[in-house]
Amino acid sequence: QVQLAESGGGSVQAGGSLRLSCAASGYIYSKRCMGWFRQAPGKEREGIAIIYTRSEGTSYADSVKGRFRISQDNAKNALYLQMDSLTPEDTAMYYCAADISLVVCGRALQRPTPDFRLWGQGTQVTVSS
């Protein structure tokens, strides 16, 4: 089974930037999209960004729109999240995920978040004021 592994998390001051990476251990057959999700302590999981594999179309949650940018490198089986203008409200565990269903992909930013087929273990992002 292909596994996803996030990296790039850490601690940063408000206004700073981080770049998260997600590496897949192999090719994900029929992958339709990948996304970034986050979960803060005591809060439900939130879908924040999604990118479609073929069209490379993207969508963002309002909470991160204009500050975060999702990108992918299909040749490297990699996903990225550039996060700028970070605030303490961005503090959370960040997860990457992949799915093969366009229906599931289309619901990525809805609440509750759908159960994507593949998930990483997460990387912690902490933003201090």
Residue-wise pLDDT tens digits, 84-110: 999 999 999 999 999 999 999 999 999
Q: What is the mean pLDDT of the chain?
A: 96
Contact 72, 97 (CB under 8 A): no
What is the model's pLDDT at position 51? 98
Please write the tens of the pLDDT for every residue from 44-77.
999 999 999 999 999 999 999 999 999 999 899 9
Rounded CA-CA distance 57/30 in Å is 17
Rounded CA-CA distance 56/32 in Å is 10
pLDDT bracket for residue 43 (50, 70, 90): very high
**Residue 81 β-bridge partners:** 20, 70
**Cis ω for the linkage preceding 88 (within 30 of 0):** no
What is the model's pLDDT at position 29? 87
